[in-house]
């Protein structure tokens, strides 16, 4: 039986592996020397993911989608980096592989408070990338995802892999400050 591979996009120095797969890979724009997982530098706004087609059993993006521009002018050409990113996530997933993302959503303050949040996600944004609509086809989306689940969450609901102290502090902080669900979780299956 072959080992399962997971890619965490926008991983920083703390990659996440929500499914506990055997091999952990990460990409980010930072120069880093990582010893405990396979790290590649990649600017997903301008570059393709540095992996072959159908490499991963799962791909995650924690608090990352909101940082990808919806459109940009690159070399006098209009590009859609968010659409390109979703194409890339689909490309590197195996058939049946899982795309897992958590991001703040509109109208919650968390979607706007960070000045680098330039891609505001709503409760309906996933329709652009999932069956049956695939509305992003008009912008060049070529992938095919089916919804496993889409739900609003308190960020602490999906941080099970952190150590107990950090998790407890986050739970207390979010309970005191927000009390409401501030993030949206996307879990899609890649159809190929």
CATH number at 77 reads 3.40.50.150
Q: Is 15 within 8 Å of 35 (Cβ atoms)?
A: no
The one-digit pLDDT tens for each residue of the chain (192 residues) are 689 999 999 998 889 999 999 999 999 998 877 657 799 999 998 899 999 999 999 999 999 999 999 999 988 999 999 999 999 999 999 999 999 999 999 988 889 999 999 999 999 999 999 999 999 999 999 999 999 999 999 876 555 544 555 555 555 555 555 557 889 999 999 999
Q: Is residue 56 classed as helix, strand or coil in its secondary structure? A: strand
Q: Which residues of 59-72 are buried (b: 16+ CB within 10 A; e: fewer)?
A: bbbbbbbbbbeeee
Whole-angstrom Cα distance, residue 81 to residue 47? 9
Q: In this structure, what token pair is assigned to residue 81?
A: 């980096």
| Overall number of domains in the chain | 1
Whole-angstrom Cα distance, residue 106 to residue 1? 42
pTM as predicted: 0.86
Q: Is 94 within 8 Å of 57 (Cβ atoms)?
A: yes
Close Cβ partners of 17 (under 8 Å, ≥ 6 residues apart): 6, 8, 24, 60, 161
Range of the domain at 23: 5-190
């Amino acid at each position: 039986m072959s080992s399962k591979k997971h890619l965490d996009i926008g991983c920083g120095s703390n990659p996440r592996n929500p499914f506990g797969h055997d091999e952990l890979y990460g990409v980010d724009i930072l120069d880093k020397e990582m010893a405990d997982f396979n790290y590649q530098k990649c600017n997903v706004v301008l570059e393709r993911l540095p992996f072959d087609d159908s490499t991963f059993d799962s791909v995650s993006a924690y608090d990352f989608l909101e940082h990808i521009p919806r459109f940009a002018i690159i070399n006098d050409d209009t590009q859609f980096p968010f659409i390109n990113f979703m194409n890339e996530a689909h490309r590197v997933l195996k058939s049946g592989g899982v795309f897992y993302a958590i991001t703040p959503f509109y109208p919650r303050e968390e979607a706007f408070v960070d000045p680098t949040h330039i891609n505001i996600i709503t409760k309906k944004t996933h329709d652009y990338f999932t069956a049956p609509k695939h509305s992003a086809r008009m912008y060049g989306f070529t992938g095919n995802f089916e919804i496993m689940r889409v739900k609003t969450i308190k960020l602490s609901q999906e941080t099970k892999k952190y150590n107990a102290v950090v998790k407890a502090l986050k739970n207390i902080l979010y309970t005191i400050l927000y009390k409401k669900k501030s993030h949206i979780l996307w879990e899609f299956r890649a159809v190929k």
